[in-house]
Amino acid sequence: MWQKIKRSKSVKKKAIIFLSGRVNLKADYYKNIKYSEYDIYCADGGANHAYNLGVIPKLILGDLDSITEEARSHYKNLGVKFEKFPGSKNFTDGELILDKVTVKYKNVIILGGSGGRTDHFLTNLNLLEKYQNITYEDENEVIFWVKKDMEICGQRGKTISFIPLTPIDSLTLEGFIYPLDRADIPRSSSLCMSNIIDKENVRIKYDNGSVIGIIQK
């Protein structure tokens, strides 16, 4: 795990949630995931990705207007649990399943959270603030919420960017090629793009604000 996290003894497994965004099924990244080490969940059309990868979820949730009939029949025959919601609702399928799953696991990886419709992707990014134990991953990058004091481990040499969603007060970056010491970063700034992780263990600290981190694999 690239983040240093205090683990709860009651949490035994990690989870993966498939959303219906872009998944490059030809990429080795998806084929090499050890799915047996995770509990798998799907939001509606995310079940199509799981089906194409031969993965069996614990739950498929949503208004179920995007899952193919082939995937639906396959998983019903396997006894997979479905939870159907009306199409007219106050939350996306992604937020509904995040609300259900994130309370059960310390770490939740989201696959299929990027690509596709821009409005869905931007909404998914905003959900990082509400569900801070999730990361969006694909074959190219990891997107995560930057906590006010956090360490990143084992990513030396990787390119990392910090995207301020609001002004950031007193941002400190320790162990990076381009360090900062209590710098105030306006929301419109590109100062924190394309930094390089220079140590095995690096630290990010700030006083106030909202910021997303993106590590390039």
Give the three-class secondary structure for 6. Answer: coil
Q: 184 to each of 96, 150, 161, 213, how far by Cα in Å?
A: 35, 18, 16, 17
6 pLDDT band, cuts 50/70/90, is: very low
Sheet of 180-185, strand order = 149-153, 201-205, 168-174, 180-185
The whole-number average pLDDT for the span 21-43 is 95
Instruction: Evaluate if residue 204 carries a pLDDT over 50.
Output: yes
Backbone angles phi, psi at 202, to 5 degrees: -125, 160
Q: What is the mean pLDDT of the chain?
A: 92
Report the pLDDT value the prediction gives residue 116, as an integer from 0 to 100.
72
**Chain centroid offset of residue 160 CA:** 16
Q: Please tell me the pTM assigned to this model.
A: 0.89
Report the pLDDT value the prediction gives residue 12, as an integer from 0 to 100.
46
Alpha carbon dihedral 62, 123, 22, 164, in 10-degree steps, equals -150
Give the three-class secondary structure for 73. Answer: helix
Sign of the dihedral defined by the CA atoms of residues 33, 36, 39, 42, in that order:
positive
Tens digit of pLDDT for each residue in 112-163? 998 778 888 898 899 999 999 999 999 999 999 999 999 999 999 999 999 9
Tens digit of pLDDT for each residue in 61-82? 999 999 999 999 999 999 999 9
Cα separation, 118 vs 194, whole angstroms:
23
Report the pLDDT value the prediction gives residue 207, as an integer from 0 to 100.
98
Domains of the chain, with CATH numbers? 14-139 (3.40.50.10240), 149-216 (2.60.120.320)
Strands (E), 74-167: 81-84, 108-111, 134-137, 141-145, 149-153, 159-164
Report the pLDDT value the prediction gives residue 4, as an integer from 0 to 100.
56
Report the pLDDT value the prediction gives residue 10, as an integer from 0 to 100.
45
